[in-house]
Structure 1
Amino acid sequence: MLEEVLWSLRSACPIAPRLSPYADPVQEWVLDRLARLGLPLDGATRRRLERAGFARYAGRLYPDAGEPDLRTLATLFTWFFLVDDACDGPDRLAPEQIRALRAGALTLLREGPRWRHPGFGGPLRRLLVEAWREPRRRMPARWRSRFADAVAHHLDGTWREAVAKEAGRPPSVSEYVELRRATSAAYVSYPLVEFATGRTVPDAVYHHPLLRRIGELGNDLLSWYNDLASLDRDVATSGGHNLVLAVAAERGVPQETAVGLVADRWRDAMARFVVLRASVPSFGPTWDAAVTAHLDGVANAVRGTVDWTLESARYPVPDTP
């Protein structure tokens, strides 16, 4: 049933799929770069990362980026997924270690690579230094601050989830939805649209209530789809941090019923997303092209997550309906 739901939601997604022509060569480049930066890549690890296809994920979200910029974006995506594995895997970091990682990463993003933090070093730090070099050089200070704030929000959510898991406290549905908006890293991906397109948005427009609500819905859509795809794994490891599990516990229904309820919730959110996206007013000739690029980026994040989830070996979903 779960596989059927995933494929039916993909069919119901009105956003057109896109993929950069550079995605596959960039994937090979990233794997070679990881080895040069000192990440331990034995044959099995390299195959796992290759089959996960993080560069293809970046290529779906930023299909118009040139090959050099897609290399930067794919490196950033790889960093976030490696951090996710470190914080949420079977040998996951303790909450205090996640706090130290957060502090170190933010020191690097805000102060530059010369500043160091004792809780953040080794290959993960070198990878972030590499990934951050070009955005730091090219993007304005207000954008760099906005991106660092998004990373802080994401890693704080990762820490809060780790604390809840350690305490054995599963979340309610409302608690989970709010926390998931942080742990998904969608809010980190949105500013990167400006880097990929070269069209920056002023803070007043970026934080406009309507654009914020569209971004929130986009975050929910990609997060809930991912929760459906990772349900079998999350049953054993998530401590209740999965929307299906939270709905099942709160409503007192079987998981199979909760899957259907989450799928209905996803369809309702998608309908609202489409209506709100179509209702965005003009912000004037100076900013309309950048706003359109931003909204397209949010939509690509939703559809790109759906398509990448179904093709990536990171999730055990059959590759045919």
Structure 2
Amino acid sequence: MRHEPGLTVPPIYTPIPPAIHPRHAAVEAHTTAWAEAFRVGSDELRSRLLQHSIGSFAARILPGGREEVVALVSDFVLWLFAVDDGFCEEGALGRRPGELAAVLHRLLRVAQNPEAPMLLDDPLADGLRDLSRRVSQYGTPAQAAAWCDALREYFFSVVWEASHRSDATVPTLSDYTLMRLYDGATTVVYPLLEVGHGYELSMHERGRQPVRAATEMASFIITWDNDLFSHHKESRQDGYYLNVLRVLQEERGLTPDQALAAAIDQRDRVMCLFMRLQESVLDQASPQLQQYFRGLESFIRGSQDWGVSSRRYTTPEDPADLPTCFRDGPSTDNDEPLEIPVISWWWDLLPEPARIMPRPRVPMNALLTPTP
């Protein structure tokens, strides 16, 4: 298979300072032991995943959270990668949406009812059973239900992705954006942000349009960044792959470098909108909502720090050209809505005075926090 030339990903804009949980090394050790105890994934896949510093990723997502929940997030992310890599991207089921849906439906039942006598000799089910019990142990019944509902969204979206993989089709940018809000599994982590800090966001605040929009914006930023950082790895695999750079090339007839610039412009515009919308809401926000927004910020920045430093994307055997620092200002001053119908409503929520660009909060080219 002929590979596209490697792309140089420039430093990207982030106004969010870095942070990591002080017990990150202990979390890493815990997840290694957990993955081995439950035999998550094949031996080869598990060995590979354990080199990706997933414990440090969780420690960046919840830098001030309860250690037992940071460990839960770490274990869960490794489990998700085992499903995504083992079933969807590298396994035969990733091209058989009907069969994949059946397998994931059974796993969803295990998450909903870990006591159900099914898939008893399946390592992935055993690991998910343990994760579900811990979510219920540390969280409220409503948070456990929200976690299961988000897992259903993730499963549904990867089946949708498998249908494109089966037919080797590239979705439209609007469809890809909608798919990416869920198939990046960001929504499954959001309930754990609350659990990690021991609070529960009220339904009144959770259901407000600005809060829903900010949550979707965080998913957009995290997954667009992931597409930038993972493109090198994905484009060098044999067979079909989905990435916003490929979608933009297909839909707009762009070169790889032009698609990279377009994707950065999109994520910068959403990042600016996220910060402005947050500033417009926080004055009237409860302490719980304020903490929720801080959690979204930590998730965004943690994904960035981990994405440019993890072996998963740096691929040292065939090095990706990823940045080692971030920039303090966006690449554009365009504050118009993106021409993506499924998300253009986000801009309607911004009060007119909030259209002023947010002040940067980190110095230009601030060096990344080293990955432990």
What is the TM-score with the length of structure 1 in the denominator? 0.89
- Indicate conservation of the 8 Å contact 2:40/2:79, yes or no: no
Give the corresponding residue for 1:95: 97
CA deviation map 1:87-144 (0-9, x unaligned): 333324232332123212321232x2221445x8511111112222222134222222
For residue 190 of structure 1, report the CA deviation from its aligned partner: 1.0
Distance 1:173 1:40, change over 3 A: closer
Matched, 1:106 2:104: no
Equivalent residue runs for 1:94-173 within 5 Å: 94-110=96-112, 112-117=113-118, 122-173=122-173
What is the count of residue pairs matched by the alignment?
311
Distance 1:14 1:106, change over 3 A: same
For residue 175 of structure 1, report the CA deviation from its aligned partner: 0.8
Matched, 1:174 2:177: no
State how far apart, in whole Å, the 2-side matches of 1:189 and 1:74 are: 10
- Indicate conservation of the 8 Å contact 2:41/2:124, yes or no: no
Q: Which amino acid aligns with 1:313?
A: R
Describe the SS at the equivalent of 2:169.
coil
For residue 267 of structure 1, report the CA deviation from its aligned partner: 1.1
Distance 1:47 1:167, change over 3 A: closer
For residue 163 of structure 1, report the CA deviation from its aligned partner: 1.2
Distance 1:41 1:177, change over 3 A: closer
Distance 1:22 1:318, change over 3 A: farther
Distance 1:88 1:45, change over 3 A: closer
Distance 1:238 1:141, change over 3 A: farther
Distance 1:16 1:88, change over 3 A: same
- Indicate conservation of the 8 Å contact 2:7/2:232, yes or no: no
Give the corresponding residue for 1:38: 39
State how far apart, in whole Å, the 1-side matches of 2:172 and 2:249 are: 10
Q: Which amino acid aligns with 1:145?
A: A
CA deviation map 1:182-201 (0-9, x unaligned): 10111111111111000101
- Indicate conservation of the 8 Å contact 2:139/2:195, yes or no: yes
For residue 264 of structure 1, report the CA deviation from its aligned partner: 1.0
For residue 159 of structure 1, report the CA deviation from its aligned partner: 0.6
Give the corresponding residue for 2:335: none
Distance 1:32 1:318, change over 3 A: farther
- Given candidates 273, 288, 294, the residue that maps to 1:296 is 294
Give the corresponding residue for 1:246: 247
For residue 251 of structure 1, report the CA deviation from its aligned partner: 0.9
For residue 307 of structure 1, report the CA deviation from its aligned partner: 0.5
Structure 1 window deviating more from structure 2 (302-311 vs 274-283): it is 274-283
State how far apart, in whole Å, the 2-side matches of 1:184 and 1:82 are: 13
Equivalent residue runs for 1:166-245 within 5 Å: 166-235=166-235, 236=237, 239=240, 241-245=242-246
Structure 1 window deviating more from structure 2 (85-94 vs 233-242): it is 233-242
For residue 2 of structure 1, report the CA deviation from its aligned partner: 3.6
State how far apart, in whole Å, the 1-side matches of 2:218 and 2:190 are: 10
- Indicate conservation of the 8 Å contact 1:150/1:187, yes or no: yes
CA deviation map 1:143-194 (0-9, x unaligned): 2221111110011000110011102221011111111111011111111111
CA deviation map 1:218-245 (0-9, x unaligned): 1111101111111123335574521111
Distance 1:242 1:124, change over 3 A: same
- Indicate conservation of the 8 Å contact 2:66/2:197, yes or no: no
CA deviation map 1:4-52 (0-9, x unaligned): 42xx10xx2001111111122211121122222234675x656522321
Distance 1:40 1:109, change over 3 A: closer
Distance 1:237 1:291, change over 3 A: farther
- Indicate conservation of the 8 Å contact 2:9/2:322, yes or no: no
For residue 281 of structure 1, report the CA deviation from its aligned partner: 4.6
State how far apart, in whole Å, the 1-side matches of 2:75 and 2:35 are: 9
Structure 2 gap segments, 5+ residues each: 1-5, 315-319, 325-372
Give the corresponding residue for 1:255: 256
For residue 271 of structure 1, report the CA deviation from its aligned partner: 0.8
State how far apart, in whole Å, the 1-side matches of 2:280 and 2:170 are: 37
Give the corresponding residue for 1:272: 273
For residue 253 of structure 1, report the CA deviation from its aligned partner: 1.4
- Indicate conservation of the 8 Å contact 1:61/1:297, yes or no: yes
Structure 1 gap segments, 5+ residues each: none
- Indicate conservation of the 8 Å contact 2:158/2:183, yes or no: yes
Q: Which amino acid aligns with 2:101?
A: R
Q: Which amino acid aligns with 2:48?
A: R
Q: Which amino acid aligns with 2:295?
A: G
- Indicate conservation of the 8 Å contact 1:18/1:304, yes or no: yes
Give structure 1 regions of 4+ aligned residues with deviation exceeding 4 angstroms. 44-47, 281-284
For residue 203 of structure 1, report the CA deviation from its aligned partner: 2.0
